Chains A and B, each alone.
Chain A
Amino acid sequence: MADDKSNAAKYWKANVRLIAGCLVVWAFVSYGCAILFRPLLAGIPVGGTDLGFWFAQQGSILTFIGIIFFYAWKMNKLDKKFGLEE
């Protein structure tokens, strides 16, 4: 029972770490590249405008999709590693 508990606690810690990492990327592309750092990226041209604009209207959404699939894939591996899958 105690082992089960510490196993589940370790699993949860690994999950929270993974979430934190994913959220950093999530915030970086949307709040970072698309909004706050747009002036810094103004020098990088993308088809008639700049990289920040592309991130705001295309890049961030594409990255979001990547993050969710990466998280789902990683969590499936974690589920198995800790023997906590269904």
Chain B
Amino acid sequence: MSQFAINLLFVGASFALYIGIAIWARAGSTKDFYVAGGGVHPITNGMATAADWMSAASFISMAGLLASGGYANSTFLMGWTGGYVILAMLLAPYLRKFGKFTVPDFIGDRFYSNTARLVAVVCLIVASVTYVIGQMTGAGVAFSRFLEVSNTWGIWLAALIVFLYAVFGGMKGITYTQVAQYVVLIIAYTIPAVFIAFQLTGNPIPMFGMFSTHTESGIPLLEKLDDVVNALGFRDYTADVDNKLNMVLFTLSLMVGTAGLPHVIIRFFTVPKVADARWSAGWALVFIALLYLTAPAVGSMARLNLATTVYPEMAGQVENYEEAAQNPILYEERPDWVRTWEETGLINFTDLNNDGRIQMYNDSADFSDRGWEGNELTVNNDILVLANPEIANLPSWVIGLIAAGGIAAALSTAAGLLLAISSAISHDLIKTMINPKITEKGEMLAARISMGGAILLATYLGLNPPGFAAQTVALAFGIAGASLFPALMMGIFSTRMNNSGAVAGMLAGLLSTLLYIFTFLGWFFVPDTNMLANTPDNWIFGISPLSFGAVGAMINFAVAFAVCSVTKAPPQEIQDLVESVRFPKGAGIAVDH
């Protein structure tokens, strides 16, 4: 069977499964549509949350980020997992007790203000739309590489599949497809990792293999990797970071952003009890950690594999790296996977010094004494995971599995985001603010139409990515962390926080973060409109625009408390409401009103 047929089989089988679930899990009521009926088992919800959370970026890009950045990019690992600790302790159980359908629902009711509700809806939509574009383009890349269709067709196909189960099943359909998608993506991710760890270290468990001895050279794998990248002019893989303040703030921004992202929070509205919300966060992190603990092993091993493919003499015990670097492979003798990926344009070769060999090294290092005239091979970070099975010569069914896994990761996150967007429109805007008299049936229809509309918008933006599409980390995490997270937390932990304080805080956090981002990345990300060059010298206190979300959150808290202290305390019934969300007793399943 050809590779194409195998890919088609794996992807086709996974689609059949998702559509089967869609038919089985149709939504009968708004409660089904928004919170899957409120009866999802905490372990099931944990698994669905993991799929909801792990996007095309986690599946495809994470290992590549670690491979290129080494220790410095550990921020993503800690940030995207540590957020669950604060979510589990500071938000999830109380929001579950509150028992409504959406995040703006809580903010609007708790701060007895439709202005607060509207600010929350706008933040939610900007963050989620930015996020969903990456999922659509990610699915497009996976489709076009593995199923040999054009990028455009790939994106339309992804939209159609999501449409089938999200419009008919709502949260109910999404929850059970996410469980299936988690299983597909985690198997697809770990199998190649196990093979590669075994090949390189003899230890089949990637998390242990990474810290054990590299078989071919007889020294620890990470030490070997440091030696190899050093010989090619890069910093050590494990090298420490100089700007610790920025590293701390970036990690913190990712953590509070994670905890404040509405599509993650609403998953915890689907469990039956408050105690389940706490357990469920733990299970979600267990399922997420299976991938996140494997990713560093995949990243480091793929980097070593790539380097020793180009410089075969560096693979074993090396006396002199200077000499080993003299004999990279001839371009004519490059392995097949390099040829395949060259066709996609994600690997590029230019023979700068016309010696017919591939010189791959740090372009800013000067190796003219070796007769090198510049780095000749550029490899896109994103292909490391997708090309892993080919680099390690794994059987062709593993490649089919990776195709299905990458698509599962993109679709599951897209569906969660689309639900967050559509419920904010149909529930918060239409039902609560515009037409409170709408019937249950009418709201269901509104929810389905908003979902369809959100899918069309995401498809359009996936096909024509705007400038902000690449800014998921800055925009989505910045806004969720600086605006939504503090408002939610103060709504629970301060009985005194009032409407004026919350609105002022949210706006201050949001605007200060956007201002800082736009200063360095351009107004609305339009190129060349930035007021300062985006270089570490210009950053205030060395804080990068991506790390500003944590500072924005602090500004939010400070402004909120300042404004609150000079304005009227919230009415008694609101203070009673806050006190009642603090303990589990008396919680029912999520209700409408």
Chain A residues in the interface with B (C-beta under 8 A): 5, 8, 11-12, 15-16, 19, 22-23, 26, 30-31, 34-36, 38-39, 46-50, 52-54, 56-58, 60-62, 64-65, 67-69, 71-72, 75-76, 79, 82-86
With the chains together, A65 CA to B240 CA distance in Å? 25
Mark the stretch among B190-198, B205-213, B333-341, B520-528 that contacts chain A.
B205-213
Given contacts A48-B220, A48-B221, 18 further A-B contacts (CB under 8 A): A11-B582, A12-B579, A22-B85, A36-B244, A47-B211, A47-B212, A47-B221, A48-B211, A49-B222, A53-B74, A56-B77, A62-B293, A64-B285, A68-B89, A68-B281, A69-B279, A79-B275, A86-B584
Interface residue tally on B, bucketed by range? 35 or more
- Which of B220, B248, B282 has the most chain A CB within a 10 Å cutoff? B282
With the chains together, A46 CA to B374 CA distance in Å? 35
Contacts of A15 in B (CB 8 A): 582
A53–B238 CB distance below 8 A: yes
Chain B residues in the interface with A (C-beta under 8 A): 66, 71, 74, 77-78, 81-82, 84-86, 88-90, 93, 207, 210-212, 219-224, 226, 238, 240-241, 244, 247-248, 251-252, 273-275, 278-279, 281-282, 285-286, 289, 292-293, 296, 493, 579, 582-587
Contacts of A56 in B (CB 8 A): 71, 74, 77-78
Contacts of B289 in A (CB 8 A): 61-62, 64-65
Contacts of B296 in A (CB 8 A): 57-58
B579–A84 CB distance below 8 A: no
With the chains together, A1 CA to B74 CA distance in Å? 50
With the chains together, A41 CA to B278 CA distance in Å? 33
Interface of A is mostly: helix
Q: A34-B78, A65-B289 are in contact. Are A85 and B584 (CB under 8 A)?
A: yes
Contacts of B293 in A (CB 8 A): 58, 61-62
Q: Please name 14 pairs of A and B residues whose Cβ atoms are closer than 8 Å in the assembled complex, sorted by A.
A: A11-B583, A34-B74, A35-B251, A47-B210, A48-B219, A49-B222, A49-B223, A61-B293, A64-B84, A68-B278, A72-B275, A76-B275, A84-B584, A85-B275
A19–B78 CB distance below 8 A: no
Contacts of A22 in B (CB 8 A): 85, 89
B240–A38 CB distance below 8 A: yes
A84–B275 CB distance below 8 A: no
B251–A31 CB distance below 8 A: yes
A79 touches which of B219, B285, B584 (Cβ 8 Å): B584
With the chains together, A78 CA to B289 CA distance in Å? 28
Contacts of A69 in B (CB 8 A): 279, 282
Of all chain A residues, the one with the shortest Cβ separation from B585 is A84
B89–A71 CB distance below 8 A: yes
Contacts of A8 in B (CB 8 A): 579, 582-583
B585–A86 CB distance below 8 A: yes
